[in-house]
Structure 1
């Protein structure tokens, strides 16, 4: 293992694209434990598209295993007549053996603080409806019931409506708040490759 254990269980952060192969493997292994997937022998696909410039917030157990994870991903979109930088949470997960210890709350809170201090115009992502209260508590993320996210305009693109996800959004910049009405009863195109979503 090329990274040190974390005896204090502090939230650590690293740019995903710069993480060591060993650390990325730990992120992958956590995902396998969370979703009860078999461990892959070959190198799996990366958790995040390199173009989304993910920041990884994670907590390790004493033995060096990653046990909680949240990423912040970023991109630029066009909405109406304006271009906005958006950022959102992705791949929020905690090892089932460590649930109930508020580790997920801590990684989401740290990631949310990063978003709040960033130059992003909009914080934006989706979750399953039962998890909305968790994100409200961890980072004051409100559900915006009149907004639909679509991966792209492609027929095969994912959408919050068809996936039955709720949209969580915060207008962060003066620019975004100044045109806040354009995000009411709105469909927001994330301009992502087919199969990707936030």
Structure 2
């Protein structure tokens, strides 16, 4: 197994097709269409579980500098994938460079073997190496222990507010919890300001929440 990383638009077509297939397996398009979006069906979390238009509408907002991380086996098969998004946020009068995980998924036939956990832990390390102040994102409440086992810290009572200031999309509309990791000295010094509060993420209208 090896982990490969690309700027989203530079992902080799064969690997991207496989990653999109895993997402479709986890979050079928017809099922998603029948429910109100919570910002996560294709922007969300562990299911552990370039044609010009073949994936139209499935690209992240380029303003969020999306990065694709893929766990690939020796035959070139994508076993698990996730994306990393980036945005500057302001919280408690302090600016932070924040990164978060999106579209975390493992092939259903290979779940329960630690592949997703391995990739999520590697993403945490990659975010730390990138120089970002912190990593922060939401996940389904039932996946809290999964992310904690990969090195992420639960922030009790924390709500991420997605969308835009004019059209906010808060995570407490859904059964979500927030997890984070604080990397820089500035982030660690202000980590106490994050639990039990609302964090203005505001990633926009394409990736409404992560």
Q: TM-score, normalised by structure 1?
A: 0.83
Aligned: 1:143 with 2:135: no
**Per-residue deviation, residues 110-135 of structure 1 (Å, max 9, x unmatched):** 11111122211121001011101111
SS in 1 for 2:153: coil
Aligned: 1:94 with 2:86: no
Report 1:103-114 matches (<5 A): 103-114=115-126
Q: Would you say the 8 A contact 1:74–1:87 is kept in 2?
A: yes
Q: Would you say the 8 A contact 1:28–1:47 is kept in 2?
A: no
Match of 2:135 in 1: 123
Q: TM-score, normalised by structure 2?
A: 0.79
Gap runs ≥5 in structure 1: 1-8
**Per-residue deviation, residues 29-87 of structure 1 (Å, max 9, x unmatched):** 1211222447xx84332342222212222123455332211222211112232211001
Post-superposition offset of 1:164: 2.0
Compared CA separation, residues 42 and 132, structure 1 to 2 (3 A): same
Q: Would you say the 8 A contact 1:57–1:110 is kept in 2?
A: no
Match of 1:26 in 2: 18
Match of 2:42 in 1: none
SS in 2 for 1:197: coil
Post-superposition offset of 1:155: 6.0
Aligned: 1:75 with 2:95: no
SS in 2 for 1:151: strand
Post-superposition offset of 1:150: 0.3
Gap runs ≥5 in structure 2: 31-52
Q: Which deviates more from structure 2 when the two are superposed, residues 17-26 or residues 169-178?
A: 17-26
Report 1:167-182 matches (<5 A): 167-182=178-193
Q: Would you say the 8 A contact 1:11–1:106 is kept in 2?
A: no
Q: Which has the larger radius of gyration?
A: 1
Counterpart-to-counterpart distance in 1, 2:205 and 2:28:
25
Question: When the two structures are aligned, how many residues end up with a matched partner?
Answer: 187
Compared CA separation, residues 144 and 27, structure 1 to 2 (3 A): same
Match of 1:190 in 2: 201
